[in-house]
Amino acid sequence: MKKYILFAVAILGVSYSNAQNLNNTNGGYESTRTIDGKKYRVAYYEYEVDKTMDEVWDEISGNFINVGEIHKSINESYCESGDTTEGVGAARFCSIDFSGKEIQIKERITDVQESEDRKEFTYEVYESKGFPAKVFNTWVVRKDEHGKVYLGNVFVLRGKPAMMSKMMMKKIDKLDGLRNAVLGYKHYLETGEKKVDSEIFAKLYPEV
């Protein structure tokens, strides 16, 4: 069974230009990035969602702590930041089933950006067990010139050691990690169904 991984991650310095290649693991973003003098791998995936921007944003950002209720691969999630459950400073613990292996991570929102046609928040994995990498992530909700709404995820990774970065990114890609993370939200927002197997996504949302 394919499993998918959902990580929270920051994208430092992402521009507000729209991604051009929908459903692509590098849709409009670079494949590598230098942060603090170190090279990171970058991947991107987005999908159209049949909801308003506010509806998508309220779930993705507003329900940050309870991500484990939506995605099949996340065993559990809970708040790590007291009364702060959304916005900058909100932190959560996640236990993730990554291809049969348990990964434990703690994630913290570091930045939120909102405009009329685009909203995004960034968060970092500040502590992890079972996944030797420095990870940043950004979730993006945007509306194009035709009024269509898209949900996207930017994933930034550097392995520990760095030579593992390419291998780790390839494994995530092989498991359709970013695709299934985005589709997990899309499917829930459009149907109300939670904890859906990734095999179902492959049938319902074939690659374009």
Compute the distance between CA of residue 85 and CA of residue 50 in angstroms, rounded to an integer. 26
First to last CA, the chain: 22
pLDDT tens readout for residues 38-60: 999 988 889 999 999 999 999 99
Lowest mean pLDDT among 11-20, 22-31, 45-54, 105-114: 11-20
Is residue 17 pLDDT above 80, yes or no? no
Share of the chain above pLDDT 90, in %: 60
Place of tokens 């979730």: 139
Res 18: pLDDT = 35
Q: How many CB atoms lie within 10 A of CB 207?
A: 8
Strands 91-98 and 74-79: antiparallel
Res 25: pLDDT = 46
Is residue 74 pLDDT above 90, yes or no? yes
Are the C-beta atoms of 7 and 154 separated by less than 8 Å?
Answer: no
Res 103: pLDDT = 92
The C-alpha R_g of the chain, in whole angstroms, comes to 16
117: helix, strand or coil: coil
Is residue 7 pLDDT above 70, yes or no? no
Average pLDDT value for residue range 127-147:
91
Q: How many CB atoms lie within 10 A of CB 117?
A: 14
pLDDT tens readout for residues 146-205: 999 999 999 999 899 999 988 888 887 777 888 889 999 999 999 999 999 988 988 898
Average pLDDT value for residue range 98-117:
92
111, containing H or E segment? strand 101-114
Is 82 or 6 the better-scoring residue by pLDDT? Answer: 82
Res 208: pLDDT = 61
Average pLDDT value for residue range 133-151:
92
- Structure letter (DSSP) for residue 183: H
Lowest mean pLDDT among 31-35, 80-84, 94-98, 103-107: 31-35
| Mean pLDDT score across all residues of the chain | 84
Compute the distance between CA of residue 87 and CA of residue 85 in angstroms, rounded to an integer. 7
∠ CA 81-82-86, rounded to 5°: 60
The identity of residue 42, as a single letter, is V
Compute the distance between CA of residue 192 and CA of residue 197 in angstroms, rounded to an integer. 14
What CATH architecture is 32-204?
A: 2-Layer Sandwich (3.30)
Average pLDDT value for residue range 98-106:
89
Average pLDDT value for residue range 65-72:
94
Res 110: pLDDT = 95
Is residue 13 pLDDT above 80, yes or no? no
Nearest one of 13, 12, 31, 11 to 21, comparing CA atoms: 31
